[in-house]
């Protein structure tokens, strides 16, 4: 096992933009070891004053839409503008093995070699919402390391891409043309969250279909409620493969950032996101305390069996286990009063 470094070493390395140290800091942050988690918390507290200066962009879309190809092309374009770009790519974990491919560095080989870019693949570990549990912390570490643009690539599971909206400033949805009825592809839940739609793969003879899709999406978006930011949702076409249409997308994003900064929405949105993060951490912490409780662990097998055999409803079994937990307190034996 690699030696655990000091808080000062991690902090200095991250603030100096040391990519190896940034990776190590994210690794301890993702660790489930109590000592690592305590260390990660101290590092995050130290780097906190150096965060918040990036533009945080969430990128989602169904599998096959070309998210990784788009991010590599877009990230390369941004570095040509003298921007430092960090990519936090999330790969789905297997429910059976818990494993994940983590192949984004392979899929973005050219961007991975770019000295002004940093790619960090993480597994969801079965977290919901299309992102990993510690993506928020990784964003802060990348900001402290001096990255101007943070791109968060979700696993791409359709309408469950909710959490990425709650940790980014701009939410970009990639869509395909010619894959069926475009209006059928618009799901109200995800569409009400996005700030822009980019119809990808407008190349190799697909340009006309992409243009038609853009027209259809623009018509459909007019039927949706006004966005919280008051900035209208834009629809554009692009080709990640040919690296075309990237400049208009960046113009949209930078314009959106300027407009929401001036209106105060950007700051208000980030403040609300921090409160959401607090609530999320409370849920995670309570769940961990619950499953670490010795009495709960003793009674879970019998509760599982009762539910499997149809002797008890899941709701009642859960209520019984929670009552046990509340009576005995947390895993350290402390009694709740």
Instruction: Compute and round to an integer the Cα radius of gyration of the chain.
Output: 22
What tens digit of pLDDT does each residue of 186-211 get?
566 678 889 999 999 999 888 999 99
Using the predicted structure, report yes or no on whether residue 120 has a pLDDT greater than 60: yes
Model confidence at 224, in pLDDT bands (50, 70, 90)? Answer: confident
159 secondary structure, DSSP code? G
The pLDDT of residue 179 is 55
Q: For the domain bounded by 52-262, which CATH number is listed?
A: 3.40.50.300
How do the domains of the chain map onto residue ranges?
Answer: 1-50, 52-262, 274-328
> What was the pLDDT predicted at 3?
72
Task: Give CATH for domain 274-328.
Answer: 1.10.287
Q: What's the predicted TM-score (pTM) here?
A: 0.87
Mean pLDDT of the chain: 86
Q: What is the DSSP string of 114-179?
A: -TTEEEEEEE-TT-STTS-TTHHHHHHHHHHTT-SEEEEE----GGGTTGGGGG-SEEEEEEESSS
| Per-residue pLDDT at 163 | 78
So what's the pLDDT on residue 156? Answer: 62
Confidence of residue 43 (pLDDT cuts 50, 70, 90): very high
CATH number of 1-50: 1.20.5.170
Phi, psi of 101 (to 5 degrees): -70, -40
CB atoms within 10 A of CB 92: 18
Which residues make Cβ contacts (< 8 Å) with residue 79, sequence separation at least 6?
A: 85, 114, 116, 117
Tens digit of pLDDT for each residue in 164-173? 888 999 999 9
Q: pLDDT tens digits for 173-182? A: 998 886 544 4
Which of 41-55, 204-218, 239-253, 314-328 is predicted with the least confidence, judged by mean pLDDT? 204-218
**Any idea what the Cα angle at residue 117 is, between residues 116 and 118, rounded to 5°?**
135
């Amino acid at each position: 096992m690699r030696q655990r470094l000091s808080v000062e070493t991690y902090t200095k390395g991250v603030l100096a933009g040391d990519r190896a140290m940034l990776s190590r800091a994210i690794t301890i942050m993702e660790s489930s070891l109590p000592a690592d988690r305590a260390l990660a918390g101290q590092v995050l507290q130290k780097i906190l004053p150096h965060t918040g200066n990036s533009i945080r962009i969430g990128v989602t879309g169904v599998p096959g839409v070309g998210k990784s190809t788009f991010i590599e092309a877009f990230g390369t374009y941004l570095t040509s503008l003298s921007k430092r770009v960090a990519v936090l790519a999330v790969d789905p974990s297997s429910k059976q093995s818990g494993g994940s491919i983590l192949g984004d560095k392979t899929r973005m080989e050219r961007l991975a070699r770019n000295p002004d870019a940093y790619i960090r693949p993480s597994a969801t570990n079965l977290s919901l919402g299309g992102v990993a549990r510690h993506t928020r912390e990784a964003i802060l570490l990348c900001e402290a390391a001096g990255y101007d643009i943070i791109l968060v690539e979700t696993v791409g599971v359709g309408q469950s891409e909710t959490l990425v909206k709650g940790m980014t400033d701009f939410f970009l949805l990639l869509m395909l043309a010619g894959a069926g009825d475009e209006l059928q592809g618009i799901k109200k839940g995800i569409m009400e969250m996005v700030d822009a739609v980019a119809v990808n793969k407008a190349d190799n003879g697909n340009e006309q279909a992409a243009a038609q899709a853009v027209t259809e999406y623009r018509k459909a978006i007019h039927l949706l409620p006004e966005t919280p930011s008051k900035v209208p949702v834009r629809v554009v076409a692009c080709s990640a493969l040919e690296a075309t249409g990237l400049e208009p997308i960046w113009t949209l994003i930078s314009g959106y950032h300027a407009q929401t900064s001036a209106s105060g929405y950007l700051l208000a949105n980030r403040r609300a996101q921090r409160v959401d993060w607090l609530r999320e951490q409370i849920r995670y912490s309570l769940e961990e305390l619950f499953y670490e409780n010795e009495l709960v662990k003793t009674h879970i097998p019998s509760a599982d069996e009762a539910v499997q055999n149809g002797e008890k409803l899941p709701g009642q079994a859960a209520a019984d286990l929670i009552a046990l937990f509340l009576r005995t307190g947390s895993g350290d034996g402390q009694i709740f009063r």
